[in-house]
Structure 1
């Protein structure tokens, strides 16, 4: 953590794409789940594989360790939630816990001891627009059981993420409907619905020490929220969280539109993108933000003297990405490819009824992903058809920008 140096590279068995991973509470073990239905348990300290195996025919989309660190749960696109010990022995299975698939699972930090059993609270969310709270009981004699405590329906689209507060009293979730919801865990009451984000909310977390919460979205922003003080009454502590700020995760110059960048900002951008050898040339030619966006292959050669084909191509790709970001920031959500989150140039409709950028969905399918990127359900067919009406609408919108 001090230097950012890569310590080790772990390859999931079978080299299947890893969809989710989780550390045990004491960081002794690392868990990874993959697209081919396998999980791997690693000894985190010695960086060695401890155990791996196939646990489902579906894609593993969620996993997390219990606070005890002696068992973990997994959720998959079939909708099942399974409980395992560290040797991949199944302790319990809840079939069809979420219709259409599980997207996230999280344990509350605390647990209760009741005689010879441990009781944990588990949150799960899924494509069925629901967030559920379970009681997972681990008995010495009778084994493991799961009991549904609350079904929370405060969001109108698939729920993508969830997290417990450090005291286990609140639960936050993010959804495709762009909202963040905050619940009281004990009674399942919806405390607040927050509408700060402009696209899918894909990540959420509570600070372990401060009364803060963070939410991340496909709109490329992270919002930080302050929650009511714990020491106040219940009514006071459940007051609407205050947004402390929203940023796009980029530092300094990057928090402003490219059209507002100065020559110094462009130099900083070149350095951050690994193009520091071009700083002198760009500075000598007074390239600011607007000039950067107007660069072409010809101007890079004739005006800036960049003769290397590879270097020119790298600059142009990065400038094109900046331009795409400018367009995509204000584009209607239906014009953005669900995979790339960029304005589509060649939209096609897949058999799941959603439209995607042709290259993106073809790459998705060619990588043997036979499920929909939007629903996680099996694709009835891999046939794609041009969406000409959407392409025309995007063209009209682009001309008016």
Structure 2
């Protein structure tokens, strides 16, 4: 579902936000800079980094229809940058001088919204690059905001947990406690839903309560405003700091203080994939509008680029050969090459001295690294284990044509103990038990209530799965013989 492409390591402090345009990905940081990379090769543009803020940069976003990037900072300023040459086009100062925590463009770039630590929300006229109007929430700082696909509605999230809806004139339409302890991010899907002739927006919000909520929102002059929670998504064990919809509205991605990134299906709320690459809090996640790409930013000072799905239209710029062959067939030299590509040159001599080939690599544990290979650094051992886990995930993804019926619809991984739930669908036992233990008495597939919590072993599927695995193992053994 997700494949590691590359890691961007140019920032010298926490990465606070990642943002995509059709051609670029931008990152901003506590180090006061914004960096911009090409999607063609993920190399930094000649005019990057962008320097103009005097304090930490909290958010950056591209205009949907113009080559302009906006960034906002603790210095109370929002700067608009040209993507032709990196020059400043405008400096917009929050009227109160308050630190600016978030900025978002409307769908047709006619407005830019900026949210301040003093609770102020300001609309700027992008064409004229000047102040349009402002409003203030009752409590807390504005830490999140998003425009609806039609641009006629703005949602803000505050540090006290409120979600507030505003119309184009910044008239308050609605206010609700969205998350206990505080909202951290919100995002609209670009795709709308129609039920009983009524058009609904889908919006996701996340917060300090460890949850993501998907909301259905309708708004028109005739019907007024309506907002209700459609789904509550679990999976994170700590506050969720970021959430983002895919351009087709089918996926929702979140990043958390628990250092993980989770990819969900929007329709059912099922977890498709969990990424555990970062070593500190995941502060940002963003999905590209026209490419199967995911960017994640972290307090570990890095941003990571992932490729989603199985599309071959974006090349894998790192360790391409790694994805084209079975890792177990790697020679000791190939392992050394992989270590170099992953920035782990300091342990190459240890691996060579211990004759670590591909098969040995995949079976290494933290205990092996400490006791057998004598790698004393805890940080280095943890990094090695994460890279090996990424490698295992990549190798697993290379299994050819896994039948869908063998994949658990919750984890999207090969099942080992399939069971049938009362909705008639088969799941990996641990996955459906975890789903139910989180007080979800609904079907992961239909979102309807489960008639009962009985889980019946699917012995027929288990036998078919075992036969398929035997064929795969036989085929791999034959290929290894041929390689020799």
TM-score w.r.t. length of structure 1: 0.57
CA contact (8 A) 2:294 2:307 kept: yes
CA-based RMSD of the aligned residues comes to: 2.9
CA–CA separation in structure 2 for the residues paired with 1:165 and 1:55: 29
Corresponding residue for 1:65? 147
Find the residue that maps to 1:118 and give its secondary structure.
strand
Give the match for residue 266 of structure 1: none
**Of the candidates 110, 124, 141, which is equivalent to residue 205 of structure 2?**
124
Match of 1:110 in 2: 191
Secondary structure, counterpart of 1:52 in structure 2: strand
For residues 196 and 94 of structure 2, the distance between their equivalents in structure 1, rounded to whole angstroms, comes to: 39
Indicate if the aligned counterparts of 1:41 and 1:86 stay in contact, CA closer than 8 A. no
Q: Deviations over 1:104-137 (max 9, x none)?
A: 0000011135677431000000000001101011
Structure 2 counterpart of 1:174, from 255, 259, 277: 255
Of 49, 58, 76, 2:131 maps to 49
* Secondary structure, aligned partner of 1:202: strand
Distance 1:86 1:331 in 2: 53
Counterpart selection for 1:13 from 95, 102, 115: 95
Number of aligned positions between the proteins: 246
Offset from partner CA, 1:325-367 (integer Å, 9 cap, x none): xx9x8799xxxxxxxxxxxxxxxxxxxxxxxxxxxxxxxxxxx
Structure 1 residues 104 and 124, CA, compared in 2 at 3 Å: closer, same or farther?
same
Structure 2 unaligned segments of length 5 or more: list them. Answer: 1-82, 320-341, 347-376, 383-484
Once the two structures are TM-superposed, the CA of residue 83 in structure 1 deviates from its matched residue by 0.7
Following superposition, the deviation at residue 229 of structure 1 comes to 3.7
Tell me, yes or no, if the aligned pair for 1:117 and 1:139 is still in contact at 8 Å: no
Once the two structures are TM-superposed, the CA of residue 157 in structure 1 deviates from its matched residue by: 0.3
Measured at CA, do residues 244 and 157 of structure 1 come closer, stay the same or move farther in structure 2, by a change above 3 Å? farther
Aligned-partner Cα distance in 2 for 1:38–1:173: 26
Secondary structure of the corresponding residue to residue 96 of structure 2: helix
Residue 270 (structure 2) pairs with residue 192 (structure 1):
no
Residue number among 270, 289, 297 corresponding to 1:208 in the alignment? 289
Matched, 1:23 2:105: yes
Aligned to 2:295, the other structure's residue is in SS state: strand
**For 1:168, what is the secondary structure of its paired residue?**
coil
Partner residue of 1:237?
none
Q: Deviations over 1:200-252 (max 9, x none)?
A: 11111111112121111111112211211479xxxxxxxxxx99769xxxxxx
Aligned residues of 1:118 and 1:139 also touching (Cα < 8 A): no
Deviates more, 1:85-94 or 1:10-19: 85-94
The offset of 1:142, in angstroms, is 2.6
Note closer, same or farther for the CA distance 1:14–1:223 as it changes in structure 2 (3 Å cut): same
- Deviation per CA, 1:366-388: give whole Å up to 9, x if none: xxxxxxxxxxxxxxxxxxxxxxx
Higher relative contact order structure (alpha carbons within 8 Å, sequence separation ≥ 6): 2
Matched-pair contact (CA < 8 Å) for 2:139–2:158: no
- 1:225/1:244 contact within 8 Å kept: no
TM-score (normalised: structure 2): 0.48
Runs of 5+ unmatched residues, structure 1? 232-241, 247-254, 260-326, 333-401
- Mapped to 1, the partners of 2:274 and 2:237 lie a distance apart of 12
Q: 2:158 aligns with which of 57, 76, 81?
A: 76
Matched, 1:97 2:178: yes
1:213 and 1:14 mapped to 2: Cα distance? 35
Counterpart of 1:221 in structure 2 is 302
Secondary structure (helix, strand or coil) at the match of 2:92 reads coil
